[in-house]
Amino acid sequence: GMARLAIALLGLASAAAEEWAVLVAGSSGFYNYRHQADVCHAYHLLVARGLHPDRIITMMYDDVANDTENPYRGRLYNRPWEKMQEAKDVYAGCKVDYRGKQVNPKQFLAVLSGDASAAGGKVLRSGAQDHVFVNFVDHGAVGLIAFPESGRDQVLHAKQLVATLERMHRGGAFAQLVFYLETCESGSMFEGLLPDALPVYAVTAANAHESSWGTFCGAAARVGGVDIGTCLGDLFSVNWLADSESAPHGKETLNAQFQRVKQATNKSHVMRYGQVRRFGPEHVSDFQGPAGQAPPAPAGP
């Protein structure tokens, strides 16, 4: 009867969900090395987990890898490595869609909104049954996140962001959206602002009134015995990336990732907002690349 038909249709909808991602580093300058390293690492993670590169849009100033201060010109490392032969350069193969002055609030919102003429490049083309993952890494303050250029129109306010997410959903741009935000006071971008009915799940590196922190800094920022001279990563970012890499078979839930990352991120309070109860039991692989779904078969007899 009708119930069976509804279940069949539901099955079709979930099978047809495509995954899309938008990755943004909103800063510039060598001292902000960590933000671009985080984003390139995230790009490689998603591709390795099976998210199609055509459905990933990246925005970063792209000035750090080739900065004269970089001891390994043309490379970025998101964590320390003792030996060069094991060191993973996250800049190699990191596809950048928007760079330099193209990394601004207007073009970011245009990318999210699927407005190719305003964005001037690749945009989200997701549909009403699709899943979107957004990862934004940068500086922020209460109620805003920053972009590389200075000026009043170069910051994005919480209300603008939430209004854009609402418009996207009304326009059929996603069934569900996960937003991982690494900025100081990042909780203030979502706290009390997401409408109950909006299928968005936001995890922030910090609450509404505290800093988020860089990691692998100072003496720890060494690759192949060379001091990089600035932090290699951000604590929340490297924690969720490492967690997704350590559970590659697709069975981990968003709840489990949140709990582990919250515990590991000991310098700020990792928070979550939006439809926590609905999203929590869902799989990380529903948003960060399908990751082969089934666990690998045990090796040997």
Catalytic residue positions, numbered: 139, 184
Residue 261 · residue 239 · CB < 8 Å: yes
User: Which of 127, 128, 289, 273 lies closest to 201, judged by CA?
Assistant: 273
- Residue partners of 50: CB distance under 8 A and separation at least 6: 289, 290, 291, 292
3-state SS of 35-96 is HHHHHHHHHHHHHHCCCCHHHEEEECCCCCCCCCCCCCCCCCCCCCECCHHHCCCCCCCCCC
CA angle, corner 284, sides to 242 and 125, nearest 5?
110
- Residue partners of 170: CB distance under 8 A and separation at least 6: none
> Which residue blocks in 140-253 are alpha helix, DSSP H?
158-170, 235-246
What are the Cα distances from residue 58, in Å, to 188, 196, 219, 294?
A: 24, 29, 30, 28
**CA–CA distance, 216 with 176 (Å, rounded to integer):** 33
Name the residue type at position 232: L
